[in-house]
Amino acid sequence: MTSRPCPICKKPRDEKYRPFCSSRCRDRDLNQWFGEGYGVPGRPATPEEMNDAS
């Protein structure tokens, strides 16, 4: 069974940073979430819905 490559740079994975190859790739992925580079499908929440969640 072959291991999947790092989803960011396609280098071999490192178990320490799984599923990434390094802390750099792990941090790049996290930055994508913070910077709205990734998203979850669906309609945007209204301000009222966001206030109700807290």
Per the annotation, binding residues for Zn(2+) are: 6, 9, 21, 25
Written as one string, the DSSP assignment of 8-48 is TT-PBP-GGGTTSSSHHHHHHHHHHHHTTSS--SSPPPPHH
Residue in the structure block whose two tokens are 């071999």: 12
User: Which segments are annotated as binding site?
Assistant: 6, 9, 21, 25
